[in-house]
Amino acid sequence: MPIKKSKREGPPPVGKPNPREESCQIQSAKARFSDVFRRARTEGPQPITRQGKESVVMVAEEQYERLVGKSHQKKNLVQFFRQSPLVGVTFDLEPDRDRGRDIDL
């Protein structure tokens, strides 16, 4: 992988890796972990392949938090019910008054 200098400050915007970017074979990524790590922080997501197929993408922590951070936040039970898709739906919670059925013995 050629080393590129980035003009950006901080982590790049969240998004999918650029399909034109070269992906790194897993063996190369292991051998050059520090470089792949640095590039993920400065240039954006770094795809890593195994046997020529996309396997994983290394991203900066800030990008990861923007992608999934909200889903990993702890919620209390009240917040959970307030954000439920069932808010406003009414349920019939009265027990059924069925007394059974008559059978011949």
Q: Please give the DSSP secondary-structure letter assigned to residue 10.
A: S
Q: How large is the average pLDDT for residues 58-75?
A: 79
Which of the four pLDDT bands, split at 50, 70 and 90, describes residue 43?
very high
- The pLDDT value recorded for residue 73 is 63
Q: What are phi and psi of 4, to 5 degrees?
A: -110, 145
Angle subtended at Cα 64 by Cα 17 and Cα 36, rounded to the nearest 5 degrees: 55
Sheet with 46-50: strands ordered across:
24-25, 46-50, 53-58
Residue 41 has pLDDT above 90, yes or no: yes
The superfamily CATH assigns to domain 1-86 is: YefM-like domain (3.40.1620.10)
Short-list 66, 25, 68, 23, CA closest to 46: 23
Q: Which residues, in sequence order, are CB contacts of 23 under 8 Å at separation 6+?
A: 17, 46, 47, 48, 49, 54
